[in-house]
Amino acid sequence: MSFDLKSMTRKELEKHLKDVKKALASAQARDRREAKKAAEKAAAEFGFSLDELSENAPAPRKAVKSKVKKTKVKSKPMYANPADPDQTWTGKGRQPNWFREAVANGTNPDAMKI
């Protein structure tokens, strides 16, 4: 069955296009039915139904590991202010003003160690 598409009118071409679309939809539906039957048969061979294997089926839940909360260990103070022993510094992070001023005034940092 061959058509001379160049000699057809627009209406004839549109009719053929409509017929082709209808035939294509019918063929796709037939192929979909056949594929579903084949998939059901394959699933049955392994003892499953197609619904059990589909993505829409709820998946079995996995065990959730609880997260262990790490507690922060507070560092021990390494330096103390000679003028006020309550002011301490761990030696980590920014230097406190009292430490910076004491070093600027000539105090040896080792002298302030606890």
DSSP codes joined into one string, 25-62: HHHHHHHHHHHHHHHHHHHHHTT--HHHHSTTSPPPPP
Residue 59 has what pLDDT? 60
Q: Give the DSSP H/E element, type plus range, for residue 100.
A: helix 97-104
In sequence order, the 6+-apart residues with CB closer than 8 A to the CB of 39 are 50
Residue 60 has what pLDDT? 64
> Residue 99 in 3-state DSSP?
helix
Q: Looking at per-residue confidence, does 95 or 2 come out higher?
A: 95
Any idea where the domains of the chain sit in the sequence? 8-53, 79-112
Query: Considering the entire predicted model, what is its pTM?
Result: 0.41
Residue 74 has what pLDDT? 86
- Average pLDDT over every residue of 14-33: 96
pLDDT for residue 111 is more than 80: yes
Residue 4 has what pLDDT? 87
- Average pLDDT over every residue of 74-97: 92
Pick the closest to residue 112 from 53, 96, 51 (CA basis): 96
User: Tens of pLDDT along 41-78?
Assistant: 999 998 988 888 777 656 666 777 778 888 888 889 99
**Given pLDDT bands bounded at 50, 70 and 90, which one contains residue 20?**
very high
